[in-house]
């Protein structure tokens, strides 16, 4: 597996987003299957695992801890704070005391004495970003956290945070159909030496080419709340898919591999963390690290799927209000 730099670490260019093993995409897989997938990821050369306190309200961190604690020295472990569950509800809380408490809880669930990369999952607008990041610097000094990251923030917020403590990574959604990072964040990361970590690089399954009927999504699938997956909008977006799948066929790769290869082509500071609950998809994803795309192929892809051709926003109004990213 090719590697890229994340703060003080070398990590696999394609990591694993662990969220959907416990959270958000309908019924999670059984424990045994989830553990098998995590172990297979490590065997395939993935050395970058991403979880969070929010995912399954702690269940995902516990799963990762149970499964991979014995192999702790073999991978870069990323988790997140500042967004967690309280009495079954999502709560954003960036107060210093809460972040330090969350760190201690995550360490216990993950069965480790240190978290390599600890993100602020969401910026709590009631707390200056400088205060939240300053609080996260304390566990760094204590050796409980090795590097700090931010999630779903703008370039301006990144720069403010970086002035307080080096920000090793910024994570946000990025794929052919979500291009917001190109407004400012990708360049800001490049200038500051901050890794850019793309979540949902396969467009929440759209660019995998298999989801043709959104009515098949489970009632609790997060995508049901997303405008792009509303039936009318999705029907329009599906018109883009045949041309995209045809390009993948020309290159003799899967549609998901093409999506990942495009994300990795955005710069040497970019990593991707696709999530999956299927080992076959995991193996396909890993192989994408070796796919190079020509300038003409990149141009065709970007002309086909872009901010002007995709219908619907990535979040509904409530979710959009919780992020700090630039928007077209």
| 273 confidence band (pLDDT: 50, 70, 90) | very high
- Give the residue from 135, 269, 93, 292 showing the smallest Cα distance to 190: 269
Angle between helical axes of 279-287 and 255-264 (0-180°, round to 10) = 40
Partnered with residue 167 across adjacent β-strands are 148
Specify the CATH number for the domain of residue 268.
Answer: 3.20.20.100
281: in domain: yes
Is the pLDDT at 280 greater than 90, yes or no? Answer: yes
Mean of the per-residue pLDDT values of the chain: 97
**In this predicted structure, what is the pLDDT of residue 299?**
98
d(CA 139, CA 146): 8
Q: What is the pLDDT of residues 190-239, one digit of tens each?
A: 999 999 999 999 999 999 999 999 999 999 999 999 999 999 999 999 99
d(CA 243, CA 230): 21
220: in domain: yes
284: in domain: yes
Partnered with residue 76 across adjacent β-strands are 48
CA torsion, ordered 250, 254, 257, 262, to nearest 10 deg = 30
327: in domain: no
**In this predicted structure, what is the pLDDT of residue 288?**
98
Mean of the pLDDT values across residues 71-83? 98
Q: Strand, helix or coil at 315?
A: coil
Q: How many domains is the chain built from?
A: 1
285: in domain: yes
**In this predicted structure, what is the pLDDT of residue 293?**
98
**In this predicted structure, what is the pLDDT of residue 88?**
84
Q: What is the pLDDT of residues 10-34, one digit of tens each?
A: 999 999 999 999 989 999 999 999 9
Domain that holds residue 120: 3-321
Q: What is the pLDDT of residues 244-256, one digit of tens each?
A: 999 999 999 999 9
Mean of the pLDDT values across residues 298-322? 97
Percentage of residues of the chain with pLDDT beyond 90: 98
312: in domain: yes
Mean of the pLDDT values across residues 106-118? 98
Mean of the pLDDT values across residues 116-127? 98
Q: What is the pLDDT of residues 156-193, one digit of tens each?
A: 999 999 999 999 999 999 999 999 999 999 999 999 99
- Give the residue from 129, 185, 171 showing the smallest Cα distance to 327: 185
Partnered with residue 89 across adjacent β-strands are 86
Mean of the pLDDT values across residues 113-128? 98
326: in domain: no
Chain position carrying tokens 């799927």: 305
Catalytic residues: 55
**In this predicted structure, what is the pLDDT of residue 87?**
87
């Amino acid at each position: 597996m090719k590697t890229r730099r994340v703060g003080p670490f070398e990590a696999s260019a394609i990591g694993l987003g662990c969220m959907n093993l416990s959270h958000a995409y309908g019924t999670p897989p059984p424990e045994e299957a989830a553990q098998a997938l995590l172990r297979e990821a490590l065997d395939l050369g993935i050395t970058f695992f991403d979880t969070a306190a929010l995912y399954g309200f702690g269940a995902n961190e516990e799963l990762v801890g149970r499964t991979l604690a014995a192999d702790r020295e073999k991978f870069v472990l990323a988790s997140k704070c500042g967004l967690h569950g309280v009495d079954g509800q999502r709560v954003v809380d960036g107060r210093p005391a809460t972040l330090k408490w969350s760190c201690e809880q995550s360490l216990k669930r993950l069965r480790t004495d240190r978290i390599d990369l600890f993100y602020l999952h969401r910026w709590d607008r009631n707390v200056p970003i400088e205060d939240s990041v300053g609080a996260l610097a304390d566990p760094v000094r204590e050796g409980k956290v090795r590097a700090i990251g931010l999630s779903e923030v703008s370039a301006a917020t990144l720069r403010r945070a970086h002035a307080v403590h080096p920000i090793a990574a910024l994570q946000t959604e990025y794929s052919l159909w979500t291009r917001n990072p190109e407004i400012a964040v990708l360049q800001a990361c490049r200038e500051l030496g901050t890794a850019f970590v793309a979540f949902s690089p396969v467009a929440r399954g759209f660019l995998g080419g298999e989801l043709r009927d959104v009515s098949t999504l489970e009632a609790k699938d997060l995508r049901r709340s997303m405008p792009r997956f509303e039936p009318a909008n999705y029907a329009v977006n599906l018109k883009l898919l045949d041309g995209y799948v045809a390009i993948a066929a020309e290159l003799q790769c899967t549609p998901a591999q093409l999506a990942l290869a495009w994300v990795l082509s955005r710069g040497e500071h970019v990593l991707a963390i696709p999530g999956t609950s299927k080992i076959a998809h995991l193996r396909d994803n890993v192989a994408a690290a070796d796919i190079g795309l020509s300038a003409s192929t990149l141009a065709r892809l970007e002309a086909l799927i872009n901010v002007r051709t995709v219908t619907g926003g990535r979040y509904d109004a409530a979710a959009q209000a919780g992020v700090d990213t630039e928007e077209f």
